[in-house]
Amino acid sequence: DAGVIQSPRHEVTEMGQEVTLRCKPISGHDYLFWYRQTMMRGLELLIYFNNNVPIDDSGMPEDRFSAKMPNASFSTLKIQPSEPRDSAVYFCASSFGREPQHFGDGTRLSIL
């Protein structure tokens, strides 16, 4: 079975540019989570969706960050405008109900 698929795997862009990260969850999963991982702050939950509806976005750091889930098989995390401090690895994960989460391999984002 295909796991959670994230794209791109790596993104390098200049400060001020818009960045869009993409995620395809496992088919049939009704929860989707976005995380950010840095050495300093560890793994932080940014936002999660249930049946395509955002449930908790309290972890979204600033208004520059936005996330959407237009349908059950696709979600995006957008940063506009991007800043060097946004550099991190961004993970998407999905789950069925309260079952354990399945993670993608992440997008390594570098903002110059």
Q: Which residues bind other proteins (CB under 8 A)?
A: 4, 31, 33, 35, 42-43, 45, 48, 50, 55-56, 91, 93, 95, 97-98, 100-106
> Minimum Å distance from CB 16 to other proteins?
28
Structure tokens at 28: 């049939």
Tell me the β-bridge partners of 44. Answer: 36
CA gap 104, 93 in Å, rounded: 6
Give 4 or 109: the residue with its C-beta nearer to other proteins: 4
Residue 14: CB minimum distance to other proteins, A? 24
Judge contact between 26 and 2, C-beta under 8 A. yes
Q: Which is nearer to other proteins, 14 or 58 (CB)?
A: 58
> Which residue, 33 or 65, is less far from other proteins as judged by CB?
33
- Pairing between strand 88-95 and 31-38? antiparallel
